[in-house]
Structure 1
Amino acid sequence: MDGKLAVIGLGSIGSMALWQASRLSDSVTGFEAQAPAHARSAVGGDTRLFRMLYRGVPDFYPILERSRDLWAELEAETGQNILTRCGGLSIGTKDGPYIPPLLETTRTNGAEHEILSREEMAQRYPQHNLRPDDVAVYDPHGGALRTDRAVTAAVAAAQSNGATIHTNTPIDSIMETGDGVVITSGGKTWTFENVIVSSGGWSQRLMPDYLKAATEIKRCYLSWFVARDAAEFTPEKFPIFIRISGDRSMYGAPAVDGATVKATLDGRGAPTPQADSVPRDLTPAEISETMDTVTEFFPGLFPNIVRSDAFPDLFTSDGKPLIGHLNDQSKIYLATGFSGGGFKMATGYGEIAATEALSKRTFEGLDFVRPERFKTS
């Protein structure tokens, strides 16, 4: 045996799983095809949104609560400022498809929130140009996660705890044996008691066929703008936001670099054949829709894209991640398929994956993310 646990892919979730595993075992190894937080991974793009308010499955809420605590622990352990706590806004048509179900989930979870009318938004956050029937829900615990810092900090913390790291080591195959899991890269092989597969868009080729059929690699793009008055878009004045108003939708973050505001069309992930060959440039249609939306939503931004990029992620057919062993007897554990929405809960997911993969304990109430839900008899 080369160790108790290998983590394949040290990006959004893998870096956190490695950090958590290094707290539980002194025999942990991480494998990364390039380098942690490399420019083509789903980690790219400077920031991701952290928010406690969302619409959908209430079962995510305990993971969010735990993730919030663990982000603070990672900051304390590494001395890095990872989560910019600036609050968050969910904006949309009062009786539309976004705000009512968001409030229903929020009230079910008991999450702290404040409803803001269009008039109150104009007073507190005049950067947003709301439509007459728009309202907002304020999340006091929202913020912007610094992705590069988060991943590199988690990997460094794991190394400080004794974890071994192999960079520039893409994994070609994994195979279960009676004793463990054999992984190969080029002409090298290693054998571990257990393996976590957390390589995002690159995970699909390491999966069984029934999961390949239930997943799809998609291209997610981001865009940034310059403010007419940068002081109005600092984290102190401009919370993260998600807005779905009629036919337009956008999400974004304040100018954490002091210069550019992230404002990106929401829900525009499109299928792409390979994670290695995602087109980085925006299409003319993507540029046009983005600029039109910014022109309406944010009069205080120059409606010209000053920076854009695109990254791969693995999406499941039901939009929920794959967290768990392939089956009750398997030594292969999946932590992937986060469908463009996993970073805010990466620390919580990482703790679940590390704990379960090392057989320390099993978390209850997670049937909705277990890989076996896609297996037919």
Structure 2
Amino acid sequence: MDGKLAVIGLGSIGSMALWQASRLSDSVTGFEAHAPAHARSAVGGDTRLFRMIYRGIPDLHPILERSRTLWAELEAETGQNILTRCGGLSIGTKDGPYLTALLETTRANGADHEILSREAMAERYPQHNLRPDDIAVYDPHAGSLRTDRAVTAAVAAAQANGATVHTNTPIDSITETADGVIITSGDKSWTFENVIVSSGGWSQRLMPDYLKAATETKRCFLTWFVARDASEFSPEKFPVFIRISGDRSMYGAPAVDGATVKATLDGRGGPTPNADSVPRDLTSAEISETMETVTEFFPGLFPNIVRSDAFPDLFTSDGKPLIGHVNEESKICFATGFSGQGFKMATGFGEIAACEALGKRSFDGLDFARPQRFKSI
């Protein structure tokens, strides 16, 4: 036996699971096909949005609350500035389907929020050019997460706690036996008591057939723009945002480099054959729609894309994550399939995966995320 737990994939969720597991056991090993926070993983793109208000699944709220606490703990433990607490805006048509659903969930879970009229937005956040029937919901606890810094900090913290990390070690197979789980990479193999699979878009090849059928790798692209006055788009003045106004939608984050603002079309992920074949260049249609949307939404940005990239992520057929064991008897736990929405909750879900894989604690209220929900489909 080579250890109590192996974590396969040290990206957004796996790095946090490794860090949490290293707090619970001195016999934890992480395997990463490349290097933590490598440029082709779903971690790429500098930042992700952290927010406490959202639409759908009220059961996510306690996980987000725990995640917020754990982001602060990771910062304190590593000395890294990971979460810039700049607030967040959800913008949309007043009484439209987006804000109606968001406010229904927000009121159900009791999250702090403030409704801002179009006039209030013009006074507080004039960077946004709102339509006549647009309003916003302000989230005081939202912010911008530095993805590469978060992942490397979590892996370093795990190693400081005694975890072993194998980089440039892609896992080819996992085989469950009566005694444990055998994992192989090339001509090497290891045996662990338990395994967490958290390799994002690369997780499918390690899944049982029923989960392969319920998942799909998609390409998610990101775009950045130069601000006419960068000070107006600093974290102090420009919260993270999601906007769905009629036929246009976009999300983004303030300028973390003092010059460029992330502003990206929302919900445009398209299927890709696998995580290694993601087209990085934008299509002419993607460029055109992005520039048209920025021209309308943000007069303070030059509407020319100065940087773009694309990354793979694993999506489930119902858009909800996969957290938990393959079945009640299994020693294999999955923590993947976050469908482009997982980074804000990575610390919380990482803790859940580590605790359950090591048999330290089980969590209620997660039926919506359990892999077994797809067995009957």
Aligned to 2:266: 266
Aligned to 2:115: 115
1:95 offset after TM fit, Å?
Answer: 1.6
Aligned to 2:128: 128
Pairing 1:138-287 to 2, within 5 Å after superposition: 138-287=138-287
Aligned to 2:28: 28
Distance 1:139 1:338 in 2: 22
1:361 offset after TM fit, Å?
Answer: 1.1
Q: TM-score when scaled to structure 1?
A: 1.00
1:97 offset after TM fit, Å?
Answer: 1.5
Distance 2:339 2:266 in 1: 13
Aligned to 1:91: 91
1:274 offset after TM fit, Å?
Answer: 1.1
Between the two proteins, the alignment pairs up a number of residues equal to: 377
- Give CA deviations for 1:172-230 in whole Å, capped at 9, x if unaligned: 00000000000000000000000000000000000001100000000000000000000
Distance 1:187 1:277 in 2: 25
1:64 offset after TM fit, Å?
Answer: 0.2
- Give CA deviations for 1:92-140 in whole Å, capped at 9, x if unaligned: 0002111011011001111000000000000000000000000000000
1:298 offset after TM fit, Å?
Answer: 0.1
Aligned to 2:13: 13
Q: Structure 1 counterpart of 2:324, which letter? A: G
Distance 1:303 1:5 in 2: 48
Q: Structure 2 counterpart of 1:266, which letter? A: D
Secondary structure of the residue aligned to 1:179 is coil
Distance 1:92 1:155 in 2: 38
1:17 offset after TM fit, Å?
Answer: 0.0
Give the CA RMSD over aligned residues. Answer: 0.5
Secondary structure of the residue aligned to 1:275 is coil
1:341 offset after TM fit, Å?
Answer: 0.1
1:277 offset after TM fit, Å?
Answer: 1.2
Distance 2:376 2:256 in 1: 46
1:340 offset after TM fit, Å?
Answer: 0.1
Aligned to 2:296: 296
Aligned to 1:362: 362
Aligned to 1:305: 305
Q: Structure 1 counterpart of 2:342, which letter? A: G
Q: TM-score when scaled to structure 2?
A: 1.00
Secondary structure of the residue aligned to 1:314 is strand
Gaps of 5+ in 1: none
Secondary structure of the residue aligned to 1:365 is coil
| Segments of 4+ moved more than 3 angstroms | none
Secondary structure of the residue aligned to 1:302 is coil
Distance 1:357 1:126 in 2: 48
Gaps of 5+ in 2: none
Secondary structure of the residue aligned to 1:376 is coil
Distance 1:161 1:298 in 2: 45
Q: Structure 1 counterpart of 2:9, which letter? A: G
Distance 1:182 1:326 in 2: 16
Q: Structure 1 counterpart of 2:24, which letter? A: L
Secondary structure of the residue aligned to 1:223 is strand
Aligned to 1:344: 344
Distance 2:150 2:250 in 1: 24
Residue 45 (structure 1) aligned with residue 45 (structure 2): yes
Distance 1:278 1:95 in 2: 37
- Give CA deviations for 1:4-55 in whole Å, capped at 9, x if unaligned: 0000000000000000000000000000000000000000000000000000
Secondary structure of the residue aligned to 1:276 is coil
Distance 2:350 2:110 in 1: 24
Distance 1:17 1:91 in 2: 33
Distance 2:275 2:157 in 1: 28
Aligned to 1:323: 323
Percent of pairs identical after alignment? Answer: 87
1:157 offset after TM fit, Å?
Answer: 0.0
Task: Pick which of 93-102 and 191-200 moved more.
Answer: 93-102
1:376 offset after TM fit, Å?
Answer: 2.0
